[in-house]
Chains A and B, each alone.
Chain A
């Protein structure tokens, strides 16, 4: 129970299964988007998740530099349908930023944010650096957060 951060090698097969399952249920099924969810990047990522009642209630992957983008990134940010509106999304992103800033010692985080979550990311200090654009049919905007000293 509680928050876990694991590399791909540290994940158990059953944790990996649950992670892919919840990601597909949110990003493919719920968002009605038949895209390559299992994209081959996960082996290089750290996986941050909250377990509740034997399932994954919240999840994000932390992507090192030069894996997807030049900058460190956070992606596949989700809260399980049954656990929304309870503040887990905030807790999740706060933890992700904390790990990247303090443990990875990285100053700059870049994300491909879904536009409807703009305000959510702004509240963490992310600022828009592109126009809105479509990725897999969903409006996105690139945002960057610089560590405040």
Chain B
């Protein structure tokens, strides 16, 4: 399978891991370069997880997507993991990432770890964001600590879900 990247930078962002009879393709796109069908699939996945699964009647399409980078994993043609990377000065003073998702049927294979690793890497190396601040769902605190994030707030409720603010500073 040959995938044409539009630029050197984009080429660097594409990593292929060929497993047994399946192709995993990691993609990073700015909003304006994202394919409409891919965007729809991402919107569908975000709705599936943050609205339906978490039973949360909130506005998922909050207007921060246009300035964000969107990282996703395509497996056998389907988007199964996703996150967005928000440059500093929009969501908060610092750069941030969020909407971290692995499709329900694809959990338990450590895709989330690879996803977040790639996200952090792109933010530090390509977006020049040495400080990343996130609103982590509290049950994932340990997961984010394992990347070096430290808590910078008490746990608090946002949309009835317990969150904690965490920061990662590039060494």
The chain A residues found within 8 Å of chain B, CB to CB, are 8-9, 11, 13-14, 16-17, 20-21, 24-25, 28-29, 32-40, 42-43
* Contact present for A36 and B58 (CB under 8 Å): no
Q: Does B59 contact A (CB under 8 A)?
A: yes
B143 CB, min distance to chain A CBs, angstroms: 24
B40 A34 Cβ-Cβ under 8 A:
no
- Cβ contact within 8 Å between B39 and A16: yes
B52 part of interface (Cβ distance < 8 Å): yes
Residue B36 CB within 8 A of the other chain: yes
Residue contact A21 to B44, C-beta cutoff 8 Å: no
10 tightest A-B CB contacts, nearest first: A21-B61, A38-B44, A38-B47, A38-B43, A34-B57, A34-B51, A34-B55, A32-B57, A28-B57, A13-B36
Closest to A11 in B: B36
Chain A: minimal CB distance from B59 (Å): 5
Cross-chain contact of B61 among A11, A24, A34 (Cβ < 8 A): A24
A40 to B42, CA, bound (A): 11
A70 to B31, CA, bound (A): 36
Measured between alpha carbons, how far is A34 from B160 in the docked complex, in Å? 13
CB within 8 Å of A: which B16-73 residues:
31-32, 34, 36-37, 39-40, 43-44, 46-48, 51-52, 54-61, 63, 65-66
Listed residue (A8, A17, A33, A43) with the most chain B CB atoms within 10 angstroms of its CB? A17
Contact of B47 among A16, A32, A36, A43 (CB under 8 A): A36
Q: Are A37 and B51 closer than 8 Å at their CB atoms?
A: yes
Residues from chain B with Cβ under 8 Å of A43 in the complex: 37, 40
- CA of A42 to CA of B61, assembled, Å: 17
CB contacts (< 8 Å) of A9 on chain B: these are 36
Of the candidates B57, B63, B65, the one whose C-beta lies within 8 Å of that of A29 is B57
Tell me how many residue pairs across A and B have CB atoms closer than 8 Å.
63
Contacts of B57 in A (CB 8 A): 28-29, 32-34
Q: Are A20 and B51 in contact (CB under 8 A)?
A: no
Query: A34, B56: Cβ atoms under 8 Å?
Result: yes
Q: Residues of B contacting A35 with CB < 8 Å?
A: 51-52
Known interface pairs A25-B59, A38-B40; 4 further A-B residue pairs with C-beta atoms within 8 A, sorted by A's residue number: A13-B34, A13-B39, A29-B59, A34-B54
Contacts of A8 in B (CB 8 A): 36, 40
Nearest chain B CB to A82's CB is how many angstroms away? 15
> How far, in whole Å, are A4 and B40 apart by their CA atoms in the complex?
20
B36, A16: Cβ atoms closer than 8 Å: yes
| Most chain A beta carbons < 10 A, residue from B48, B54, B61, B66 | B61
In the complex, A43→B44 CA distance in Å? Answer: 12
A28 touches B40 (CB 8 A): no
Min C-beta distance of B42 to chain A, whole Å: 9
Residues in A with CB closer than 8 Å to B36 are 8-9, 11, 13, 16
CB-defined contacts of A29 to chain B, threshold 8 Å = 57-59
Could you tell me which residues of chain B, from 63 to 98, have a CB within 8 Å of some CB in chain A?
63, 65-66
In Å, the complex CA distance between A20 and B43 comes to 8
